[in-house]
Amino acid sequence: MLELVDVYKTFNLGTINEKKALNGVNLKLEAGDFVTVIGGNGAGKSTVLNAIAGVWPVDSGAIIIDGMNVTGLPEHKRASVLGRVFQDPMTGTTATMEIQENLALAARRGQFRGLRWGITKKEKKEYRELLATLDLGLEDRMTSKVGLLSGGQRQALTLLMATLKKPKLLLLDEHTAALDPKTAAKVLELSDHIIEDHKLTAMMVTHNMRDAIIHGNRLIMMNEGRVILDIKGEEKKRLTVEDLLRKFEEISGEEFANDKALLG
């Protein structure tokens, strides 16, 4: 479903801030894979997701989604096959537009947007039912501006928007990191449900090793812009946080320096 071939990206080339963010990333996802991505700060986790989404062009390598080479496509043209949820709850929705209008924007991802109505009566009905499944009471606030919602509500709505048109790949970029623990757990549970129900292929970046182990059928660890560990199937099911830490030290030759990942 997704193939990354020797993807390289360096930021601020030739300046004092030069940073080799992606250092030859190779990865192949099968349809239905739910991969969790872990790694220390600056390991390249979010950078990989941004490379796939086309936030900027990569320096070299190829990005292939469901057989289509998207390496040369800008961000808005890749959007038709991707669903994305970001770390910052403010990023995924439009605060000055209504809840139903945000959903209508997402429903037209990948379509030409002309002079037909931005939202139809039929859609409003569908969205009401869809919002009811979130169990947050949003179905009664369809015409409220999204700016009035809490971070958790906005993240749940973003998740709904990202999957409203079934994406070939769902990218979750630390989408629970900015939420309180209780809300984070709820949004994670919702993510699991949606991915399972729609049989989506998904990548989820997380700082939390335990979450990375519990969720998904596959786990990759990144370090210095490379995939250094790829665990799937039965092995993934038996994995513990201690295993992960030991493997990290074995491969990278250094200690995993990230309190948040250990304590989380």
Q: Which chain residues interact with another protein by CB under 8 A?
A: 53, 75-77, 79-80, 82, 84, 86, 90-97, 101, 104-106, 108-111, 113-119, 161
**Residue listed under structure tokens 């209508």:** 104
Sheet with 2-11, edge to edge strand ranges: 19-29, 2-11, 60-65, 68-69
Pull the structure tokens for residue 141.
């606030």
Taking the complex as a whole, the smallest distance from the CB of residue 80 to another protein amounts, in Å, to 6
Which residue type does 213 have?
A: I
- Nearest approach, Cβ of residue 235 and another protein (Å): 34
Closest CB to another protein among 154 and 207? Answer: 154
Which one, 67 or 114, has the nearer CB to another protein?
114
B/e letters for 79-97, b = 16+ CB within 10 Å, e = fewer, are bebbbbbbbebbebbeeeb
Q: Which helix (H) or strand (E) holds 6?
A: strand 2-11
203 - beta bridge partners? 35, 171
Q: Which residue has the tokens 């491969």?
A: 251
Nearer to another protein, 38 or 49 (CB): 49
The residue among 19 and 145 lying less far from another protein, judged by its C-beta, is 145
Beta bridge partners of 171: 84, 203
The residue among 138 and 229 lying less far from another protein, judged by its C-beta, is: 138
Give helix 99-107 / helix 121-132 axis angle, nearest 10°.
110
Compare residues 71 and 94 and give the one whose CB is closer to another protein: 94
Q: In the bound complex, what is the minimum distance in angstroms from residue 144's beta carbon to another protein? A: 10
**Pick 7 or 162: Cβ nearer another protein:** 162
Please state, in angstroms and rounded to a whole number, the distance separating the CA atoms of residues 264 and 252: 22
> In angstroms, rounded to a whole number, what is the distance separating the alpha carbons of residues 195 and 202?
7
CA R_g for the chain: 19
Distance, in Å, from the CA atom of 108 to the CA atom of 251, rounded to the nearest integer, reads 44
Q: How far is it, in rounded angstroms, from Cα 95 to Cα 150?
A: 11
The amino acid present at 1, given as its one-letter code, is: M
